[in-house]
Amino acid sequence: MELELTTLLLLMLAALAAGFIDAIAGGGGLITLPALLATGMPPAMALATNKLQSCFGSFTATLYFWRQG
């Protein structure tokens, strides 16, 4: 599945917004999942991608708080 540069940039913008929302209140997947589906990605692949990025976000937050004590 090939994506155009503008589509990738829009997905990055959506991911940035989702990360910001996730850091404040949670629920960033409500932004990223529709963005992934809008690219024409199959639903199973979009859900898997969304779950993978949320796992990385949770791991990063855990690592940050662990280091802060």
The burial class, CB within 10 Å (0-12 / 13-18 / 19+), for 8 is exposed
Instruction: Tell me how far apart the alpha carbons of residues 37 and 69 are, in angstroms, rounded to a whole number.
Output: 38
Instruction: Tell me how far apart the alpha carbons of residues 63 and 16 are, in angstroms, rounded to a whole number.
Output: 19
Q: Per-residue pLDDT tens for 1-45?
A: 677 999 999 999 999 999 888 888 888 889 999 999 999 999 999
Cβ-contact 35, 14 below 8 angstroms: yes
Per-residue confidence (pLDDT) for residue 5, from 0 to 100: 93
Per-residue confidence (pLDDT) for residue 30, from 0 to 100: 92
Per-residue confidence (pLDDT) for residue 56, from 0 to 100: 87
- State the pTM of this model: 0.79
